[in-house]
């Protein structure tokens, strides 16, 4: 078998896997937009928008569901963002009534961030509706499978970021590129 024939077979296999991936992602997105999840999302997003905030604030809320109450620096590490960015987002969320900040009792220089009690139940329902299937997936995989699964997701994100840098109109992806 010539190298060209092998490359063509590899391209065909990759194209078949790409089609499967697009189908799976479509099912995933449809699942995330289920009627009940959509209603909860609309309620939370409506409150976020009414407070003059946007989609970039929602990951902070989800981070607090997973890790809170925590200092801003710890939340920033969990989110892989700079402390300055997270501090700004937290300040905006506090002004919008979504989070509270209070001094750390052990170190009064640090501020502990937590979900505001009035918003806690809604934010937790919203977050866990999205996180539960991810957690169930990870629990269903053996440790080695989880490692491969997460490697695949990291690679996907890296390639999306790289493609976005290369060609903002079409993502820099072309067949056989």
Higher pLDDT, 13 or 96: 96
Q: What is the mean pLDDT of residues 137-153?
A: 96
Which percentage of the chain shows pLDDT scores above 70? Answer: 88
> What proportion of the chain, given as a percentage, has pLDDT over 90?
59
Residue 109 confidence (pLDDT): 84
Tens-place pLDDT, residues 35-89: 666 777 888 999 999 999 999 999 999 999 999 899 999 999 999 999 999 999 9
Packing angle of the helix pair 83-95, 58-67 (nearest 10 deg): 100
| Residue 44: count of CB within 10 angstroms of its CB | 19
CB-based contact 58:40 (threshold 8 Å): no
The burial class, CB within 10 Å (0-12 / 13-18 / 19+), for 175 is: exposed
Average pLDDT, rounded, for the chain: 87
Residue 11 near residue 176 (C-beta atoms within 8 A): yes
- Is the Cβ–Cβ distance between 26 and 32 less than 8 Å? no
* pLDDT confidence band for 167 (50 / 70 / 90): low
Q: Nearest Cα to 61, choosing from 136, 121, 104?
A: 121
In the block, which residue shows the tokens 């569901």? Answer: 65
> Which range, 37-41, 125-129, 160-164, has the best average confidence (pLDDT)?
125-129
Q: How far apart are CA 171 and CA 158, in angstroms?
A: 12
Bigger pLDDT: 48 or 7? 48
Reported as a pLDDT band with limits 50, 70 and 90, residue 11 is confident
DSSP codes of every residue in 111-150? EEEEE-HHHHHHHHHHHHHHHHHHHHHHHHS-HHHHHHHH
Q: What is the pLDDT of residue 175?
A: 44
Locate 136 and state its tokens: 């169930």
pLDDT of residue 68: 86
| pLDDT for the residue 81 | 94
pLDDT at 41: 83
Average pLDDT over residues 125-141: 93
Order of all β-strands in the sheet with 111-115: 70-71, 111-115, 99-103
Sign of CA dihedral 64, 67, 71, 75: negative
Whole-model pTM: value is 0.76
């Amino acid at each position: 078998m010539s190298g060209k024939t092998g490359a063509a077979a590899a391209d065909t296999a990759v194209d078949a896997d790409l089609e499967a991936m697009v189908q799976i992602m479509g099912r995933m997105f449809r699942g995330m937009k289920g009627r009940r999840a959509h209603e909860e999302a609309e309620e939370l997003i409506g409150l976020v928008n009414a407070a003059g905030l946007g989609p970039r604030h929602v990951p902070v809320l989800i981070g607090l569901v997973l890790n809170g109450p925590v200092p801003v620096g710890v939340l920033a590490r969990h989110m892989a963002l700079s402390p300055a960015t997270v501090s700004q987002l937290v300040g905006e969320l506090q002004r919008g009534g979504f989070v509270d900040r209070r001094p750390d009792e052990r170190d009064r220089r640090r501020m502990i961030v937590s979900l505001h009690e009035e918003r806690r139940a809604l934010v937790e329902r919203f977050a866990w509706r999205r996180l539960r299937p991810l957690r169930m997936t990870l629990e269903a995989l053996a440790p080695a499978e989880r490692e491969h699964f997460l490697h695949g997701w990291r690679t996907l994100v890296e390639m999306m970021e790289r493609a976005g840098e290369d060609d903002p109109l079409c993502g820099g992806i072309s067949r056989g590129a």
